[in-house]
Structure 1
Amino acid sequence: MNPWQQLLLVWLVAVVAQTSGWLWQRKRTNAGIVDVVWSFGVGGAAVLVAATGSGAVLPRVLLAVLGGAWGLRLGLHLWHRVRGEPEDGRYAQLRTRWGNDQRKWFAMFQFQALLIALFALPFLAVAANPVAQWNPWFIAGIAVWLACVAGEAIADAQLARFRADPANKGKACRAGMWRYSRHPNYFFEWLHWFAYVLLAVGSPIGWLAWTGPLVMYAFLRWISGIPFTEAQALRTRGQDYARYQRSTPMLFPWFPKEER
């Protein structure tokens, strides 16, 4: 397949997947499933694009393994939260505005299907890479992926342990990595997309791989990540979170200031 055929196929599969997620949400009144489907969908897109790509076998195998494993880990982590907790506060807030208007919820789920296709663009670049031999770029890509996925998993585990303690209800997490960044999981999530930039070195459409870190940063920083998460945190944690905001870097880890 050529890259645009691959992209169309990814989008069509994503439409079906997110429609299934919308039906699940409609039955259980929990829109958090959209994030689970997105994570599995992007990971599945990496495998699908690798399988249908025209490049050498080595970068396609690396793409399938790394992209698929990333999506599987994140999807399982989010699924554990969605099935065991009430609807995420971000979506609960939307529900107070939208109510049960399923047209709006369906549109939101289908927008996420488009985002799966958008985040598959770096995979197209890797799957078209004709470089068939191991080289420093591939090794660096694997190293970046390992470090970032491990970092995100550790940050997620630290937050989960903090939230599991009833004594921490209404408090901002300052444990471990969360002492140095208000969103260390987002930081590693963003950084992980550079792995595909490295795997795409030598591809005739290698420039497409840069859409991953650029688009992910834009979404995390200004659109759907940090703004929504911090607004919800201020609603539920109030002044404690406001003090945390004043003392701790937002995304890029650094030493915190004295709280005031």
Structure 2
Amino acid sequence: MNPFAWDAFAQGLGWTAVTALAVMLATFAIALVLGVHRVVDVAWGAAFAAVAVVSLAVSAGEGDGARRLLVTALTVVWGLRLAVHIARRGRGHGEDPRYEAMLGRAPGNRNLYALRMIYLLQGGLVWLVSLPVQAAQYAPRPLSALAWAGAALWLVGLFFEAVGDAQLARFKADPAHRGRIMDQGLWRLTRHPNYFGDFCVWWGLFLIAGDGGWRAAAVSVVSPLVMSALLIKGSGKRLLERHMAGRPGWDAYAARTSSFFPWPPRRPR
């Protein structure tokens, strides 16, 4: 069995960094034409898919073939589904309130500030968070039970993301629900089924990479840790709940519904 190919992995890191940067710069150019920066949210998932494909291509001849195909396919499916969903959700809407608030505080040119604080930052995060996908391409061990457990966890994550997004879209499409808090389906079990889904997806991909050997696990464990921090304490759950606070019915919903991990609703005291 060949050892973990450190030199090839280091070269691959350079190619994937260029890929993430290229996707974000292209998206920035599109945003300037459209006049809104919310298109970067579409590029987030698409950039992960691009990094996975490029990582597979530049690592040809390295690692276990089954693991390479598995981790690439799972990342591409997740990334493209997310990109398509966000593109459909944002169609016909103006600027995202988060970006509008951020750019309203820009010291100087708004677009250059957006390039630094949104596009380049997200490009760097794509590269960092995708480390399990990249490391898995060079892991020499054949797939074992741990990798399939990771794939199962990925599937749970995709289910929570896709079903939660679809349930929320149907809820919002009904005029009778205008002004109400979504508390049905998966949203009865967690206030953030889509963020919980992301959490499972990236821990699942990490398990697939780590199944290939301790070296792959060591270089990629930062990915699920960073993603978990972003989802729970960073720009995910925390910011969304700050935005929702004060809306009619939110306090009651938050009191009975798990904040992140799915759990049956609490009974009112």
TM-score (norm: length of structure 2): 0.87
Partner of 2:3: none
Partner of 2:71: 63
Moved more, 169-178 or 78-87: 78-87
What letter is aligned with 2:138? Answer: A
Moved more, 113-122 or 15-24: 15-24
Q: Could you list the per-position Cα deviations for residues 1-47 of structure 1 after superposition, in whole angstroms to 9, with x for gaps in the alignment? A: 62222122112122221112122222323222111111110122122
Q: Distance in 2 between matches of 1:18 and 1:61?
A: 25
Q: C-alpha displacement at 1:240, in angstroms?
A: 2.1
Q: Does 1:34 align with 2:44?
A: no
1:36 and 1:76 in contact (8 A); partners too: yes
Instruction: Name structure 1 gaps, 5 residues minimum.
Output: none
What letter is aligned with 1:90? Answer: R
Partner of 2:177: 168
Within a 5 Å distance, the mapping from 1:43-192 to structure 2 comes to 43-53=49-59, 54-98=62-106, 101-107=110-116, 108-132=118-142, 134-192=143-201
**Larger helix proportion of the pair:** 1
2:136 and 2:208 in contact (8 A); partners too: yes
Q: Distance in 2 between matches of 1:40 and 1:168?
A: 32
Helix, strand or coil at the partner of 2:91? helix
Q: How many residues align?
A: 257
Q: C-alpha displacement at 1:191, in angstroms?
A: 1.0
Q: Could you list the per-position Cα deviations for residues 119-149 of structure 1 after superposition, in whole angstroms to 9, with x for gaps in the alignment? A: 12111221111123x4222322222222221
Q: Distance in 2 between matches of 1:128 and 1:46?
A: 13
- Closer, same or farther in 2 for the Cα pair 1:95/1:239, shift >3 Å? farther
- Closer, same or farther in 2 for the Cα pair 1:162/1:95, shift >3 Å? farther
Q: Distance in 2 between matches of 1:243 and 1:90?
A: 25
Q: Distance in 2 between matches of 1:259 and 1:25?
A: 46
Instruction: Name structure 2 gaps, 5 residues minimum.
Output: 1-6
Q: Distance in 2 between matches of 1:206 and 1:135?
A: 15
Q: Could you list the per-position Cα deviations for residues 207-248 of structure 1 after superposition, in whole angstroms to 9, with x for gaps in the alignment? A: 2332232111101111111122122223xx623223322222
Q: C-alpha displacement at 1:101, in angstroms?
A: 1.2
What letter is aligned with 1:114? Answer: G
1:148 and 1:191 in contact (8 A); partners too: yes
Q: Does 1:211 align with 2:219?
A: no
Partner of 2:14: 8
Identical aligned pairs, as a percentage? 33
What letter is aligned with 1:136? Answer: A
